[in-house]
Structure 1
Amino acid sequence: MARSSLSTWMMLLLFLVISKYEAKEYLVGDSESSWLLPLPQAERLNQWASTHHFRIGDSLLWKYDEGSESVLDVKEEHYHNCIKSNPIQSYNEGRAKIVLNRPGSFYFISGAQDHCEQGLKMHVRVLSGNQRYYSHPYPIPSSSPPPVPLPPFPLPFPLPPPPILSPSPRRLN
C-alpha cells in the first residue's frame, strides 16, 4: 500500500511539473462600457483589477468608442499625474488587446481630454511564476472576500485529504 501511495504521489508530481498554465483573456471591468465616463464609483477599475490574479501571458481587452476614447500604456509617474505624452504604447482603434508579458505593474490611462483626471485609469499587477497571490494597493470593497492563495495552475481533480495522525500514547511515571 505504501508503494502504491508513493506511486500515486510521484505521478501527481510529474503531472504538476509538466502541466502548463492556460492564459486567460479578461474584458476590462467585465463590461464593454467599463472604459467610459462617468464611472460608477472612484477607483472602480482598480478595484476590478484587484479581484483578479493576472499571470504572464494573460491579456486585457478594452472595447471603447473609436475617435472619442483611447487607452495609453504608461509609466507609473505618468499614471499618477495623468501625463499623456510619450506613452509606452497607444491604442485608439476602438478595441485594444494587451498581452501581459512580464511580472510586475502595468499602468493604463485614458488618452481622451480630462478622462484620466476623472478616474479613467487602471493599475494592474501581474504575478511572477512563483507568486500565488498579492495584496493590491487599492482596497477591495468589503462585499468582496479577501484574496485567497491560488495553486500555480488548475488541478483537474481534487487532492486527497491529508492523513489524520493520532497522538502517541504517553507513559505515566
Structure 2
Amino acid sequence: MASFSKSSTTVLVFFLTIFSSLHHFSVSSFEFQVGGSQGWVVPPANDSKIYNDWASENRFLVGDSIRFKYKKDSVMEVNDTEYKRCNSSHPNLFSNTGNTVYKLDQPGPFYFISGVSGHCEKGQRMIVKVMSHEEDSPSGGGGKSSGSHVAVSSLGVSALVFVQFVLSFVASRVI
C-alpha cells in the first residue's frame, strides 16, 4: 500500500509541476493592423480622433507589434512634444515603405504621426499606450480585456480543464 501511495504522490507532484508551468505557454505577442482594412490614411474631416479612439479600444503589451499599411504616405514615431506640435523634423523612426511594422518593445506611450505635410494636423496621428505583462495580469490591476489577447485566456482555461481531468483521474486511482 505504501508503494502505491508513493507512486500516486509522484504522479500528483508531476502533474502539479506541469500545471504550475503552463502560464509560460501563452501568446507572447500580437500584431495589430492600424486603421483596420482602410489602413493608415488621412481621416475624414468629422473623425479626426479615429486613430486614438482605435488605440484606446485595444490593449497593447510589450512584445506586440503594430502594422501601418499606406499608399503615398509615411509614418513616424516621435516624442510627445513633436506629437503635440505635429513636428516631423526629428523622428525616432521614419518609414515610407507602405507597409511598416513597429515592435512595441517597452511599456509606456508611443507617439506616431504621418510625415506628409498637413496630414498630422488633419488627425493622422496616434498615441499607443503599452503595458508590461505584469500590468496586464489579474493581480496587476489590468483594465478591460480586448479581443487581441483572447488566445491567452482560452489557453489558460483549456489548461485548467486538462489539469482538473488529470487530477480527478489520479484521485480516483488513489481512493
Q: TM-score, normalization: structure 1?
A: 0.70
2:67 aligned with 1:61: yes
The CA deviation at 1:40 is 5.6
The CA deviation at 1:99 is 1.0
The CA deviation at 1:116 is 0.6
8 Å contact from structure 1 (residues 71, 92) kept in 2: yes
The CA deviation at 1:89 is 0.8
Q: Deviations over 1:112-156 (max 9, x none)?
A: 111111111000011112011799xxxxxxxxxx82497994325
1:119 maps to amino acid: G
1:16 maps to amino acid: H
Higher relative contact order (CA 8 A, sep 6+): 2
Aligned to 1:100: 104
Q: CA, structure 1 residues 36+89, in 2 after alignment: closer, same or farther (shift >3 Å)?
A: same
Q: CA, structure 1 residues 28+14, in 2 after alignment: closer, same or farther (shift >3 Å)?
A: same
The CA deviation at 1:102 is 1.2
2:63 maps to amino acid: G
Aligned to 1:147: 144
Q: Deviations over 1:67-105 (max 9, x none)?
A: xx1111000111111111110010112221111111111
2:50 aligned with 1:44: yes
Q: TM-score, normalization: structure 2?
A: 0.69
Gaps spanning 5+ residues in structure 1: where?
136-145, 161-173
> 2: distance between equivalents of 1:53 and 1:113?
30
> 2: distance between equivalents of 1:97 and 1:82?
21
Higher-helix-fraction structure: 2
Aligned to 1:24: 30
The CA deviation at 1:36 is 2.8
2:18 aligned with 1:11: yes
> 1: distance between equivalents of 2:17 and 2:126?
43
Give the alignment's Cα RMSD to 1 decimal. Answer: 3.2
Aligned to 1:82: 86
> 1: distance between equivalents of 2:42 and 2:61?
26
> 1: distance between equivalents of 2:12 and 2:144?
33
> 2: distance between equivalents of 1:48 and 1:111?
20
Gaps spanning 5+ residues in structure 2: where?
1-8, 162-175
> 1: distance between equivalents of 2:45 and 2:34?
13
Q: Would you say how many aligned residue pairs link Structure 1 and Structure 2? A: 148
Report which of the two structures shows the higher radius of gyration computed on alpha carbons: 2
User: SS of 1:117's equivalent?
Assistant: helix
2:58 maps to amino acid: H
Aligned to 2:3: none
